[in-house]
Structure 1
């Protein structure tokens, strides 16, 4: 709790201070509902101050030697390593994450910063030939300028850092707005890490705000050239439209409805383990989680029996207990939404294979079987420890079912024939899909992003470098051009 209290403030222009907004936000432990700390919200004036500070500091950052930039980013990793236990406790307290989840998230963060630390040395340009004599065309890779980042509550430390670290590595300034449910782990913790690592004051700013108070001010501000958002499709659609209206580039990592396909020839025990991890990690609060498990009819009953037994073995409850796998969802709104999906789907004919008890914000794992494609359990993103299981007959039907969604983020296919799995994967409209693996995958050098309503753009590795920079053409004429008049 000490870390939460220390970092419950705005971080603007290198200064820790109270916001000028009218609302005081309470930061609660989602499991105990205890107030950990509170923070005064940022006003529109605070947002403008943050962007102005980042704009000015970016000029200083651009002049810093690339090797020095690399060293600063690598130092940030060292700071995280030294404080890993304190960060773990923060993730448990503020997010209701388990120790397993915290270790997973912190590992992703360290790898992401290590990759971003290579960016200052990869700001390469090109010299290209010209159709004109005595002329050369130079292409310079330069920072976009200032990036606005909006992050979610589920994996906030990582999903904030996924944009913040590459944007800084590519030479940009950043203003970060974390979700109000994860203002420290997704926001001010990151500011503290980079402050200690030695970035210029004002380069990275964190504003904690209430959307009802600031409206679209964070997006509409004239300074940021890019708005990077991770969150729901509904909110992402609005952010994307506002960004485009103001000629800013939107990067959108949005919701998912991933299909986990189990063919009759799959290793059934392994598929059950992979499906369990794909659905119930962090209580199902991951955009890549397996929402729909598609099982070929011949093994449906055997799969359901093994899957139910496996899920029943998962410990549910206090995230502080190192054996806990399923802790709380983030708030009571999530509980109510999931309850409605379960009730409506059962009313439409779905069968409850396992119904977990609900205690406060803790939902016991729930498995809904014989789901049809039009039921809410199949059409909606299940952001919690609830999963639908759908039988199918042929691989063609499995592909059609997997594609029967407005989303297109991740997926998995389990089969003894890897090449059949790959051919099926090619026909499923997702940004990412994995054969004989889990749906939850993110690697620092591999393109990450969705299709359809799951997002716009790609992050990680070279793709992040491309997204957070722009190419500038400077031509040089060493002679004199001939003119027609």
Structure 2
């Protein structure tokens, strides 16, 4: 079988200097007033220092994306597919570099960095099929001689505000589909991860042969350029992954400008363990779903609600397993729990633990810290009405809550403003499915934990966890527009 040589479209060597903005196909110094320091959260070393983007950079980036995006959208689908396929090949070739950057910049453990690389690759590979999946339609008409065509087109320019926790994957979840469908894209990466949430993505697509100007990256503090990034007249849609508080502000600003949004926000995700659950399997899944990437995942388990009949057994086995977890240096392949993104997050979580203990909960494991690493911690006998239960903790702190029965467990599960992901464990699959349908979240997983993301399946939450859906056909719908173009032949008669 003949294979395509994907090296023929390469336009540059991999970049090693991460101190420039990427605008109009050029790596240039930002025009902002601030200097950004990119710091390794584990050891405090400076990875890169660079000048922030300014308001003029936003304008230049959006204009470049608009102009180049028109030509990009007009290309045959095979041309856009080829760029995406080449990007996948580059992601494969640069795997070790990508994993290392994720470990150093976002504090990812090796386990998490490998999983993120795989997810980022998969979402880009899935997007490569999108140019051939943009479907129009022809509809009948009550007007004689009229043909109604519904065409699907690129939306225009997409503004992407990237997160720091899964920076590469969660940015590519917007960027790859948006590009594949013919849009221009401007990324504002998280200030804590400007490389893996922005500059690295630009470098990969530049290597892959993406025309200059289609993709732009401007890194700067939200206080300096955040509002202008959202309210600029060019972007048709703002995609944001991050906290509910910030997402609400973005939604309000975009709404005033009549812009669409794709908001994937916070979560207070639950695992419900029913009385017929396989406790050993539930414990294993819960530990992974809670402590992967130190719990700094929007889908991470926050609350584990256990039927009273199996509560003691589950608690004993869960605490024992957590006490055996390795934590510390994220570059050690055996480490599951690495550093939090900032040392101040350790202080925040320790205050939450102290308040919960004062309120009647018991600290069964962890609680201590070394620098930015918080020991994997478990609070048991937590009252579902305690304040800590209503918060998205975003850290390695598990809350174990006892429920009287299934009805009580479902009520506790739904007693939150959030609704992103969730989990149910039961020995009876259909019972688990029925319980899952009653949990008010966008995603629920039976006999699995809550951290699941597959590129071809819809992803999104309910309530305060966001608006819109990512993945597969849902991404195609989000990043394109439908237009009605009718054709009248022969000419119609009008009653005037």
One fold, TM greater than 0.5? yes
Instruction: Give the distance between the partners of 1:77 and 1:180, measured in 2 at CA.
Output: 25
Q: Is the 8 A contact 2:159 2:238 kept in 1?
A: yes
Instruction: Give the distance between the partners of 2:178 and 2:348, measured in 1 at CA.
Output: 35
Q: Name which of 176, 189, 194 aligns with 1:178.
A: 189
Describe the SS at the equivalent of 2:220.
coil
Q: Name which of 233, 242, 247 aligns with 1:231.
A: 242
TM-score (norm. length: structure 1): 0.98
Question: 1:478 matched to which residue of 2?
Answer: 489
Note if 1:39 corresponds to 2:50: yes
Instruction: Give the distance between the partners of 1:465 and 1:262, measured in 2 at CA.
Output: 36
Paired positions, count: 483
* 1:274-353 map, 5 Å: 274-353=285-364
Q: Is the 8 A contact 2:18 2:48 kept in 1?
A: no
Instruction: Give the distance between the partners of 1:47 and 1:406, measured in 2 at CA.
Output: 34
Instruction: Give the distance between the partners of 2:447 and 2:336, measured in 1 at CA.
Output: 22
Q: Is the 8 A contact 1:4 1:184 kept in 2?
A: no
Query: Structure 1 residue 8: deviation in Å?
Result: 2.7
Note if 1:60 corresponds to 2:53: no
* 1:330-409 map, 5 Å: 330-409=341-420
Note if 1:418 corresponds to 2:396: no
Instruction: Give the distance between the partners of 2:293 and 2:23, measured in 1 at CA.
Output: 32
Question: 1:110 matched to which residue of 2?
Answer: 121
RMSD of aligned alpha carbons: 1.0
Describe the SS at the equivalent of 1:181.
coil
Question: 2:480 matched to which residue of 1?
Answer: 469
Question: 1:157 matched to which residue of 2?
Answer: 168
Instruction: Give the distance between the partners of 1:187 and 1:421, measured in 2 at CA.
Output: 40
Instruction: Give the distance between the partners of 2:344 and 2:474, measured in 1 at CA.
Output: 35
Q: Is 330-339 or 194-203 further displaced after alignment?
A: 330-339
Instruction: Give the distance between the partners of 1:212 and 1:133, measured in 2 at CA.
Output: 57
Note if 1:248 corresponds to 2:271: no
Q: Is 448-457 or 116-125 further displaced after alignment?
A: 116-125
Question: 1:124 matched to which residue of 2?
Answer: 135
Query: Structure 1 residue 336: deviation in Å?
Result: 2.2
Instruction: Give the distance between the partners of 2:283 and 2:20, measured in 1 at CA.
Output: 44
Query: Structure 1 residue 345: deviation in Å?
Result: 1.1
Instruction: Give the distance between the partners of 2:175 and 2:386, measured in 1 at CA.
Output: 38
Query: Structure 1 residue 62: deviation in Å?
Result: 1.3
Note if 1:138 corresponds to 2:149: yes
Q: Name which of 450, 453, 468 aligns with 1:442.
A: 453
Q: Is the 8 A contact 2:161 2:187 kept in 1?
A: yes
Describe the SS at the equivalent of 1:222.
coil
Query: Structure 1 residue 55: deviation in Å?
Result: 0.3
Describe the SS at the equivalent of 1:57.
helix
Q: Is the 8 A contact 1:5 1:36 kept in 2?
A: no
Question: 1:18 matched to which residue of 2?
Answer: 29
Question: What are structure 1's unaligned runs of at least 5 residues?
Answer: none
Runs (4+) off by over 2 Å: none
TM-score (norm. length: structure 2): 0.96
Note if 1:75 corresponds to 2:75: no
